[in-house]
Amino acid sequence: MKNHPDDLLSAYIDNELNADENRLIEEHLAYCEQCQTLYEDLLQIKFQVSSAFQDFEAPENLEQRIINEINLNSAANLKSKSITKAWIALPVAGILAVLTVFILSGPVFVKLISILFKFIAVLIFVIPSVLTSVPSLFGASILFSIFMLIFSSFYLRRLLRTNMNGRG
């Protein structure tokens, strides 16, 4: 026989073939290594499926599996939540830095800084909404925040120097 009865092997394992078909398969399996391997694979799959059903019937095992699954999911959720917090916290740090400058600057630069602050605030509220859909821009958020912190400290120093000069 040239043709391999591989489409009948599954039915043979499930005992769904008639006597002639059974004999045909048995004769073929006796000499065909390829179909023997397939037959063993199918038997293995059937064994695994039936043992999976046994596991399903065993409440302890199932319970443990569900607990493991929940733990994995909550761990994954915690991880993604902490990442979300990180990219919110950095721009917020930037806002706080700008606010510090704003508070310390006094009335002379209030208008200028409020314009700057509004501009940066708009950027801060726009950028995270873009970042939620594009996580790869997370780095850009960090760079933006670092830039804002450096800019703020530079600006604060300049203001303090100006104030001192004004007094002197």
The site for Zn ion (CB under 5 A) is made up of 4, 32, 34-35
Alpha-carbon span 123 to 119, nearest angstrom: 6
Closest CB 46 distance from Zn ion, rounded Å:
19
Alpha-carbon span 10 to 87, nearest angstrom: 54
Cβ nearer to Zn ion, comparing 8 with 127: 8
Which alpha helices (DSSP H) does the chain contain, by range?
Answer: 6-13, 19-31, 33-57, 59-105, 110-133, 138-167
Closest CB 25 distance from Zn ion, rounded Å:
10
Closest CB 42 distance from Zn ion, rounded Å:
13
Per the rule left: phi > 0, alpha: psi between -120 and 50, beta: everything else, 131 is alpha
Residue pair 8/25 in contact by the 8 Å Cβ criterion: yes
Amino acid, single-letter form, for residue 21: E
Cβ nearer to Zn ion, comparing 3 with 82: 3
Cβ nearer to Zn ion, comparing 34 with 64: 34
Q: Is 57 helix (H, G, I), strand (E, B) or coil?
A: helix
Residue 65 tokens, joined: 């599996």
Residue pair 98/150 in contact by the 8 Å Cβ criterion: no
Alpha-carbon span 140 to 101, nearest angstrom: 23
Closest CB 5 distance from Zn ion, rounded Å:
7
Cβ nearer to Zn ion, comparing 31 with 107: 31
Cβ nearer to Zn ion, comparing 3 with 18: 3
